[in-house]
Amino acid sequence: MGSGNRKPHGKTVSLTAGYTAFVPAPLPPAFQWNRELVNALSAADRAIGRLAGESRRMPNPHLLIRPFIRREAVLSSRIEGTRSTLTDLLAAEAGARVERDSADLQEVANYVRALDYSVKELETLPLSLRLVREIHRLLMTGVRGEAASPGEFRRTQNWIGPPGCRPETATYVPPPPERVTDCLEHWERFLHDETLPPLIHAGLAHAQFEAVHPFRDGNGRVGRLVTTLLLVERDVLKAPLLYLSAWFEATRPEYYARLLGTTARGEWHEWLVYFLNGVAVEAEDAARRIRTIDRLMLRWRTQLAKGKSRVPETVLELFRENPFWTTTGMAQRLDIAFTTAGRAIERLQGAGIVSPTGNAQRNRVYCATQMLEVLERQ
């Protein structure tokens, strides 16, 4: 194990309300470059390299990014208590009726909107506190956290702990509101520090953001989204294909314990090894899904190549973007006649590639079930 500094990364301050809060020290912290950390970074870098290679092989990576973004939106929101599935989200976007809490779906849809917006913003502007506030506004507007001042850093005290706990009994109490701005300004300066390897940098920035907890609500979702943006900004990946919510969800008790360890005991080594292991696992998982989708598409294109029309193959590409489509949606997207899209769907249905969902006779939704299974697979 790494020795670290074994002291809290910051200081505890006593407040007049009768409890204490923690103010983290500026990044970067002291941590030891030992063999375990170097090996974890090397494995994560190799996995990221393989994922980048898979994405470069794709003729149009943007088609694949769309379902990956939606998978991340579902998983990140699930950590916060929503129950929507990827199938719910993709089907609803295609126009299907979904038997799911509309508030849950709205939270997930907000995450998609915030991620789409911020990735586009990064093309011309650096990651900043301004962008973080806008991400929070997009995430929290119109959903259950709307009372948490969307887009505004907190002016009141918050805390982390079991339901119903108070600051005196909480697991962790972030900085008091008057110290939040100072903490965030230090954090923003660190965002533009390129002296550390990008994955180490992203891991430190994520933990620090959670320690500051600058919003009244929604900090977890913002923090996970910012981690993805950092990897894109630092050119670790050309496109946002790597997300860590699945890792954090699968290892939730350790995730919280490692974060608390950084503030309480300066256990940065343990946190970084955990974070890098997650990067390696999720990068390998994303690369594996891409390869599986490629094999599926190749088999389907081979089946369709026997026909005279090339329209079914063009329509097929849309199912890489979303496994659910209506004939009307395809016709509009490809700017083709409804009847042409209908004949293409019949061809795909005859080949066993898609099948209708639900009992609707008008504007029926079709699903490429095998594609959906690849995306939904745990």
Domain ranges of the chain: 10-288, 305-376
* pLDDT value, residue 190: 98
293-325 per-position pLDDT tens digit: 989 999 999 989 877 788 889 999 999 889 999
Contacts of 339 (CB under 8 A, 6+ apart): none
* pLDDT reported for residue 145: 63
pLDDT of residue 134: 96
The CATH architecture annotation of domain 305-376 reads: Orthogonal Bundle (1.10)
Residue with tokens 């350790």: 254
H or E stretch including 198?
helix 198-212
Can you give the pLDDT at residue 60?
67
Bridge partners (DSSP) of residue 160 are 172
Q: What is the dihedral of CA 281, 286, 288, 291, to 10 degrees?
A: -160
What whole-number distance in Å separates Cα of residue 339 and Cα of residue 243? 39
Give the three-class secondary structure for 267. coil
pLDDT at 100: 62
Token pair for 312: 């079914």
Helix (H) or strand (E) holding 261: helix 252-265
Closest CA to 217 of 141, 308, 278: 141
Can you state the angle between helices 268-304 and 198-212, rounded to 10 degrees? 110
Chain segment 209-235, per-residue pLDDT in tens: 999 999 999 999 999 999 999 998 998
Q: What contacts 24+ positions apart, CB below 8 Å, involve 54-62?
A: 54/286, 54/287, 54/290, 54/291, 55/237, 55/238, 55/239, 55/241, 55/290, 56/238, 57/294, 58/290, 58/294, 60/317, 61/238, 61/239, 61/241, 62/239
**In 45-98, beta strands by DSSP E:** none
Low-confidence stretches of the chain (pLDDT < 50) are 1-5
Identify which of 224, 212, 197 has the alpha carbon closest to the alpha carbon of residue 263. Answer: 212
The fold for domain 10-288 equals Fic-like fold (1.10.3290)
Token pair in block for residue 195: 């002296």
**Residue 75: its pLDDT value, please?**
85
Helices (H), 266-368: 268-304, 311-321, 327-334, 338-350
- pTM of the predicted model, to two decimals? 0.91
Residues pairing with 20 in the sheet:
14
* pLDDT given for residue 57 in this prediction: 77
Are the folds of 10-288 and 305-376 the same? no
pLDDT for 2: 45
Number of residues written out for the chain: 378
